[in-house]
Structure 1
Amino acid sequence: MASGSAIKGSRVGSGPMGEAERGETAPRLYVSYFCANAHETRPAFAAEAQIPETWDCPRCGLPANLDSDNPPPPPRIEPYKTHLAYVKERRTDSEADDILSEALQALRDRRARGEVIY
């Protein structure tokens, strides 16, 4: 049985490869993007790659662009709407009153017939 001092899966000469063994790295271009919170992000792109106009800031998540003097504004977040808010968008108050009176009348009719209503 082998001793427990060796790292499993390692062998002599399996160290990290240098550039001589891997070859030269591809030319890179570092581009600065600026968000509304004045964060600067510098992702690396291949020199021949097409540079995107916008980039998401990794610190705050806001959109960032290439113009440091005029960063994009934060996106407007719509507040959560309740079911009642959606109903009020579709119906007027008079329509709601009509629907309520119809439902109450149907309930009263069922009670008059002796139906059990919980």
Structure 2
Amino acid sequence: MAGGGNAIRGSRVGAGPMGEAERGEAAPRQLVTYFCSHDHRSVVAFSTEAQVPESWDCPKCGLPASLDCDNPPPAPKIEPYKTHLAYVKERRSDAEAAEILDEALNLLRSRRKSGDIVF
């Protein structure tokens, strides 16, 4: 690339160094360490005026982390997908299911005898 301009690449006219003087004073901070069950340590900076949360999601594995290094929270239990039948079995006992089935079969048989159902 030819040319001997005085411009510095990546800067604009009037741009100067970004320092404390231009941005103002930084708010006082406190560093808080959280621990997850995979032995990860996450250090998070909070304002000294902010209320520090008891738990924080670990940025490395996504598990919940807490302030207690000796007793980190366990990983949440992931329940498997339930089928429609599993939900029905939670709501109905075997006796209730048998009773409902008998009612449905009797209704079906009575319709067949009367000729309401055509196959």
The answer to whether TM tops 0.5 is yes
Separation in 1, partners of 2:54, 2:103: 57
- Partner residue in 1 for 2:91: 90
Mapping for residues 48-59 of structure 1, pairs under 5 Å: 48-59=49-60
How large is the Cα RMSD of the aligned pairs?
Answer: 2.1
What is the identity percentage for the equivalent residue pairs of Structure 1 and Structure 2?
68
Could you tell me the TM-score, scaled by structure 1's length? 0.77
1:25-104 correspondence to structure 2 within 5 Å? 25-104=26-105
Q: What SS class does the counterpart of residue 45 from structure 1 fall into? A: strand
Partner of 1:12: 13
Query: Is the partner of 1:60 in helix, strand or coil?
Result: coil
SS of the residue 2:51 aligns to: coil
**C-alpha distance in 2, partners of 1:47/1:75?**
30
Note the C-alpha offset of 1:32: 0.8
Normalised by the size of structure 2, how large is the TM-score?
0.77
**Alpha-carbon distance, 1:69 to partner:** 2.0
| Ranges in structure 1 where 5+ consecutive residues have no aligned partner | 1-9
User: Unaligned stretches of 5+ in structure 2?
Assistant: 1-10
